[in-house]
Amino acid sequence: MTKYVFVTGGVSSSLGKGLTASSLGRLLKSRGFKVTMCKLDPYLNVDPGTMNPGEHGEVFVTDDGGETDLDLGHYERFIDEPLSKMSNTTTGSVYSNVIAKERRGDYLGKTVQVIPHVTDEIKERIRRLGTLGADVVIVEIGGTVGDIEIVPFIESIRQYRRDAGRDNVCYVHLTLVPYLAPSGEHKTKPTQHSVTELRSRGIQPDVIVCRSDQAIPDALKRKISLLCDVPIDAVISCADAPSIYDIPLNLMDEGLDTMVCRTLGLDPDEHPLDLHEWREVVHRVHHTTRTLRIGVIGKYVTMPDAYLSVNEAIRHAGYAVGARTEVEWLEAERVPSEIDADRLRQLDGVIVPGGFGERGIEGMIAAARIARENDIPYLGICLGMQVMVVEFARHCLGLRDAHSTEMSLTTTAPVIALMAEQMNITDLGGTMRLGACPAMLDEGSIVANLYGTTVVSERHRHRYEFNSRYRSQFEEAGMRCSGTSPDGRLVEFVELAGHSFYVGTQAHPEFKSRPDRPHPLFLGLVKAAVARAEGREPHILDPDVVDVAP
């Protein structure tokens, strides 16, 4: 029988509900359960694909091409299981399905209402996820209890306990326990109010996780237990942690997973915890011996969540070489200026991540040039690879006017162009390449050596591609197209020999980095950055420098 854990939040947003849910997922997985997760988002967008990353954070891409909420990135990094589109539901997607069914006549003339039609649709999505073989499905409800738009989701999960059976459902509620400096106390009142709000919707939480700056004292736990009617063991203190990877261990110490198991009728003693792999990660997080400075040049650098997976992937690679990585966020629009060029030269490595649209593009191209000319390790991700190509065309092939047709429709050297344009297709609908695509790497190339294989699969999210018409020109001048789609038509990787590290990929490798399994391309960049920081000749293919990840 599949078990379900529903995680709701109260008092305030940004409490780390996604990280709490992910940490619980890791703990349950470490007890030997098969875990899957999903996020229910109360906004009206059908998916986050069209949302501004500067406001909403990155769009996390799943293998099957789902454009999903960034919390799915936390889920994948913590439970280390690939998720799919099915793991993200929004009000918009629920309503568009319900309305499509209504138009098709599926409701047989009934009045279509929030209850039961919308709630049934929500429950059906949760149930479908539960049929895929997981022992436990963890469902995070976005937003905060008390929000207007969250009500259908809360009602659905309330009904779920009746549908799935009492022992198969556990409600975890996350709240804020603020510290008031003038009175020198942590306060429980907001928690009481938020539990009251949840109860007014028919849900009595089984576990209350209290977010606070420091661990809350036992007396406070007793008070919350009494007033919110949960056992004292079910009041879990979750204080600010030095690293997000500490959270599972902290929650384990507080007994979160034990309590959840008991609520679900799973005997914790029969499923002992084996956290040694996670403990190794945490050990590495706290035992770094050097600091590396990696610059990220992008459009949304004032909102680092816009590059969340890139940031985590840099960290993972850093941990693997014993380095703490400090990311310097550089506004692409300002990079061509002298100050930023100097700043770039002082960095140990740079990344130009993915992005859309023209803003800041010349700054990214300038960064690619500075990195190439100054032998600064550079990793180009998606748009970051495209700017490497444009820069190389302009300054090494003499194609001064080279550009991507995304930015200039009149360029005389469209080195990056729509697939459709390259193939003279006029219908541009559905031209976004989304999700996992295989690539074949050239034997002996830098990327093949980093990956340790010549067949790889990475996730994509883009419309434009390297224009194959220019391929031989690039190769003759030294930019190698070192990986392509299996049919050889699409260029997936480019690299420069004779540079400390100058590698670009059309895909988004950041989505597949894990804390205990850094992504080979990020590891390559970070190792070259270590070499630069140490001021020695970098040899990224040196056997003792490259430790090829699986």
| Site for ligand GLN, rule CB under 6 A | 354-356, 382-383, 406, 461-464
Residue nearest to ligand GLN (CB): 354
Of residues 343 and 463, the one with the C-beta less far from ligand GLN:
463
CA-to-CA distance for 380 and 301, rounded, in angstroms?
Answer: 16
- Percentages helix, strand, coil for the chain, rounded to the nearest 5? 45, 20, 35
Q: Tell me the residue type at 84.
A: S
Of residues 88 and 386, the one with the C-beta less far from ligand GLN:
386
Of residues 3 and 433, the one with the C-beta less far from ligand GLN:
433
Asked if residue 328 lies in contact with residue 358, where contact means CB atoms within 8 angstroms, the answer is no
| Peptide bond between residue 116 and the one before it cis (omega within 30 degrees of 0) | yes
Residue 332 burial (CB count, 10 A): 27
Nearest approach in angstroms of CB 265 to ligand GLN is: 45
Of residues 139 and 383, the one with the C-beta less far from ligand GLN:
383
Nearest approach in angstroms of CB 431 to ligand GLN is: 9
Inter-CA distances, 438 with 29, 178, 435, Å:
29, 48, 10
Nearest approach in angstroms of CB 384 to ligand GLN is: 7
Q: 272 in helix, strand or coil? A: coil
Asked if residue 10 lies in contact with residue 174, where contact means CB atoms within 8 angstroms, the answer is yes
CA-to-CA distance for 545 and 383, rounded, in angstroms?
Answer: 28
Nearest approach in angstroms of CB 386 to ligand GLN is: 6
Enumerate the active-site residues.
382, 508, 510
Six token digits for residue 248 = 């599972």
b/e 174-185 (16+ beta carbons within 10 angstroms → b): bbbbbeeeeeee
Nearest approach in angstroms of CB 451 to ligand GLN is: 21
Nearest approach in angstroms of CB 313 to ligand GLN is: 15
Six token digits for residue 128 = 């479908």
Of residues 152 and 380, the one with the C-beta less far from ligand GLN:
380
Of residues 329 and 356, the one with the C-beta less far from ligand GLN:
356
Nearest approach in angstroms of CB 425 to ligand GLN is: 16
Six token digits for residue 548 = 């090829």
Residue 459: closest CA among 550, 381, 349, 355:
381
CA-to-CA distance for 391 and 45, rounded, in angstroms?
Answer: 36
Six token digits for residue 168 = 């198969």
Inter-CA distances, 364 with 252, 302, 370, 392, 402, Å:
44, 16, 10, 13, 14
Asked if residue 480 lies in contact with residue 518, where contact means CB atoms within 8 angstroms, the answer is no
Asked if residue 245 lies in contact with residue 285, where contact means CB atoms within 8 angstroms, the answer is yes
Of residues 309 and 445, the one with the C-beta less far from ligand GLN:
309
